[in-house]
Amino acid sequence: MSLTTYFMEATYLIASILFVLALKGMSHPETARRGMFLAEGGMFAAIVGTLIGAHIVTWVWIVTGLTVGSIIGALMAIWVPMTAMPQRTALSHAFGAFAAALVGIGEFVVKAAEMGAVTRGALGFEVMLGALTTTGSLIAAGKLQGVIAGKPIQFRGQNAVNLIVALAMVSSFVFFWIHPEVVVAFYAMLGLAFVFGVMLVIPIGSADMPVVMSLLNSYAGLAAAATGFVLGNNVLIIAGTLDGFSGFILSVLMCKAMNRSITNVLFGGFGAVIAEASSNADGVMREISLDDAAMQLAFASRVVFVPGYGLATAQAQHACRELGDLLQGRGVTVKYAIHPVAGRMPGHMNVLLAEANVPYSSLYEMEQINPEFSSTDVAVVIGANDVVNPDARDNPKSLIAGMPILEVDRAKSVIVLKRGQGRGFSGLENPLFFKSCTSMLYGDAKSTLTHLAQAVQHV
C-alpha cells in the first residue's frame, strides 16, 4: 500500500475509535458534551482521511460540497431554536439518508454490471433504505413543524396498501439483485421506497414522534453502513452500524416506555391503534391564582417539576431553573421528573434543562421519581399532557392504556401550567386536570414561572 493509503486507514481507525467513545460518552448527561466533541473529531478525521487517501478527479465539487454543507450546518445550528430541535434532527436524518441513496444511484449507474452479488445486494439495500428514510424523515419533520397535520392520517385498507407497496418494493429489489441488467427494476425499487417512506410515517401522530425519530435514525445508520460495503469504506461500515443498532435499541426502549409493539413500529402501524376513545375526565377544571400558587410552593417541603413540550414551546427552561433555585434557597427540596418520551424526541427535556444549567443530579427518571410522588407536597406540571395522564394507568379503554406515566396525581397538590384548556397532541382529555388535588394556572409558561418566582420572593 502507498503512504496515502496507510494514512487513510490510520485516520479511519482513529475516527472509528472516536465514534465508539462518543457513543459511550453520550450515554450519560454528564459526559454527553464530551461525547459530542469526540464525535466531531471522529467525523473530521474521517473526512481528512478520505480527501487525502482517495483518488480525487476534481476538487471543484468537493470544495463546493464542503462549503455549502458547512454553511447550511452552521446556519441550522445557530438559528434553529431548541424548540425546533426535533424537526431539525429529522431533517438531518433525511439529508444523511438521501446522501446514501445518491451514492448508491451513482454506483449503480457507473458500476452495476461489474459488481458481485454481495456488493449489488448491499447497494440495493442502501438505496432502498436510504430512499424510504428520506421521505419518512421529511414527513416526520413536517408533522413536528405543523406543516403536515399532526394527527394520524389513516384511510380504509391502509394496511393492505402498505403491504402491497412493501412487497412490490422488495420484489423489485430481489429482481434487480438477480438481473442487474434490467434497469427498470432498480428504479421501480427506488420509486416504491420513496412512496413506502411516506406510507410508514403518515399513520403516526405527532405525539408519538420520539420513537419514530429513533427508528429513522436507525434506518439512516444502516443505509450508511450499506454504503460502506458498496464503497469498501471501513469507517462508514463501523459508524453506520453503531448508528443503526444504537438507534434500534433506543427504539425498543421508547416502545417499552410507551407500551407499544416494536413490530407495529417496524411495519408502519405505530400510532394507528384501534381502541375506544373513552376518558375518565369529568368535572370542572379548578383555576388557582398566582399568589396562591406561590404560597403553596414557598411553604412546601418537597416540590417536583414535570416538564413537557409546553416548556419547550415557551422556552421556559431558564425561568423554571430560576424558580427551582429560589425554592431551594428557602430550604425546599426540588427535583425534576423526566419521562422518556416527554417532548418530541428522546432526551428532549434533558437537553433543555441542561441548557438552563439544571444540575444533572436533580434530574430523575420515571422509575426513580414515581415512588416519591406520594410524599411530594407540590408537583408542578409544565406543558405536559399524555405523560401525566392517569387514564393510561386506570382506563383500559383509553388510546394510551398501559403507557407508563409520571404519577403526579399521587402528590398532595398538583399545579398544571397550561396556555388554555386545550388537549395535547394526542387529542385526549386528561382526567388529571379535573381531580380535586389539581389546580390550573393558565398563561405562557415562561411568563408564569417568572411571575411565580417574583411572588415567592415576597412570601
Residues classed as catalytic: 386
Helix, strand, or coil (residue 24): helix
Is the CA virtual torsion 388, 153, 99, 65 positive or negative?
negative
The DSSP call for residue 80 is S
Helix, strand, or coil (residue 421): coil
Residues 6 or more apart in contact with residue 100 via CB below 8 angstroms = 126, 127, 129, 130, 220, 223, 224, 226, 227
Distance, in Å, from the CA atom of 387 to the CA atom of 338, rounded to the nearest integer, reads: 10
End-to-end CA distance of the chain: 76
- Which pairing describes strands 438-442 and 413-418: parallel, antiparallel, or unpaired? parallel
Distance, in Å, from the CA atom of 457 to the CA atom of 459, rounded to the nearest integer, reads: 6
CA angle 150, 86, 311 (to 5 degrees): 85
- Distance, C-alpha 67 to centroid of its chain: 28
Q: And the C-alpha cell for 370?
A: 414515581
The DSSP call for residue 146 is T
